[in-house]
Homo-oligomer: A and B are copies of this chain.
Amino acid sequence: MGSDLPDLTLLRRACAPCGLRNFCQQSGLPFPAEARVAEQVRRLPRGESLFRAGDAGKSLFVVRSGALKTVAITADGAEHVLGFHLPGELVGLDSLADGRHGAEAIALADSQVCALPVDQLLDRGTQAPELGRELLRVIGGSSTQCLGHVEVLMRRQAGERIALFLQDLLERLAAGRELLRELHLPMSREEIGHYLGLALETVSRGFSRLQDEGVIRVAGRQVEILDAPRLRQLAHSSGPDTDPSLKRRA
């Protein structure tokens, strides 16, 4: 494998900003320091499935680059988008309960993922208590993310859901650093709608409305943030207070 060397430098660059780097380092599995890293990395062209519903789930996956969605098909054939997964985030926890995936994971763009075999994680966790704690922390974080989804869905007004969706995306892409002023959405309006529980037309109208109000500038999937504080306000407070004349709760 003479091509390992370029891969390693590539991976080192890719791991540096990864939110799960410490996790991977401690797990000792797919970090560049180890020679057999390349085996753990999987390339996923746009549209391809990482796993399907019903598949046996022996690994967790870390998104290294690109973006994925997890979808569940309901009995009546409707598609539910359960989550979007950005670089540095975990995919595949839905198989922890019974060893089988309950959803399908599909690449929204050309992506790379690291596979973390659960068995090896557990073995390492038995040897190193810190990894066990880190594992809990990471899994708990993913659970928290699911709760974030619930919070979005509980929002009544479509505009609030969309603002919260955008804000959440920005914060996750920033991963602690400064928020981006511009981003390219890896998913379609329909997929956003299936994630937010809205019709795709409503999503489109919501974006247009945010643009009319001068909060963002939108051209298809390209979104520019014009008024970040306002977006933050729309996302976290509840909607219809257009004026800064709100002052509830003592």
Copies of this chain, count? 2
Complex alpha-carbon distance, A97 and B122, angstroms: 18
Listed stretches A26-34, A47-55, A74-82, A109-117; interface member = A74-82
Q: How far is the CA of A197 from the CA of B153 in the complex (A)?
A: 8
Say what secondary structure dominates the interface of chain A.
Answer: helix
Most chain-B CB neighbours within 10 Å: which of A93, A144, A154, A248? A154
A142 at the interface (CB under 8 A from B): yes
CA distance A132 to B125 in the complex (A): 8
Indicate with 1 or 0, residue by residue over A169-192, a CB within 8 angstroms of chain B CB atoms: 000000000000000000000000
Task: Give the bracket for the number of chain A residues in contact with chain B.
Answer: 35 or more
A129 touches B126 (CB 8 A): yes
The answer to whether B151 touches A72, judged by C-beta atoms less than 8 angstroms apart, is yes
Chain B hits for A129, CB < 8 A: 122-123, 126
Bound state CA distance, A126 and B248, in angstroms? 49
Stretch at the interface among A35-43, A61-69, A133-141, A217-225: A133-141
Tell whether A236 is near chain B: CB-to-CB under 8 Å.
yes
A226 sits at the interface (CB 8 A):
no
Inter-chain CA distance A97–B142, complex, in Å, is 8
- Is A9 close to B, CB under 8 A? no
Tell me the bound Cα distance from A137 to B136 in angstroms: 12
A87: Cβ under 8 A from any B Cβ: no
Q: Is the CB of B153 within 8 A of A153?
A: yes
The A113-170 residues at the B interface (CB cut-off 8 A) are 118, 122-123, 125-127, 129, 132-133, 136-137, 139-144, 146-147, 149-151, 153-154, 156
Besides A82-B147, A94-B144, 15 more A-B contacts (Cβ < 8 Å) are: A75-B238, A77-B248, A77-B249, A80-B151, A93-B143, A95-B140, A96-B140, A98-B140, A125-B126, A126-B126, A126-B129, A139-B143, A146-B146, A149-B150, A153-B154
